[in-house]
Amino acid sequence: MIIQSVALVALPNAPVYQEKIYRAHMDTGEDIDLFQQHWDVFLPPESLVGLTLEQAWKKRTEKMVAAASGQH
């Protein structure tokens, strides 16, 4: 499955730390909630287009580690 588009979606009634999630539209036609937006890690939704789910998760993890170590 390949990500065709990604949008930041606000969740109704969610706590502030969970208010936005990355929702991906896949080439199979289904929509998948990838992960929640992390307040100090800038990850443009369009940077995930063309990736598999595993690649998107890996990219997010790498960005979070880089931010945590001060290398963002």
CA dist 2 and 16 (Å) reads 30
25-47 per-position pLDDT tens digit: 999 999 999 998 887 788 999 99
Q: For the chain, what's the residue count?
A: 72
Quote the pLDDT of residue 50.
98
Using the predicted structure, report yes or no on whether residue 16 has a pLDDT greater than 80: no
CA dist 41 and 69 (Å) reads 12
Quote the pLDDT of residue 1.
93
Q: What is the pTM assigned to this prediction?
A: 0.84
Using the predicted structure, report yes or no on whether residue 70 has a pLDDT greater than 90: no
Quote the pLDDT of residue 21.
93
Using the predicted structure, report yes or no on whether residue 72 has a pLDDT greater than 70: no
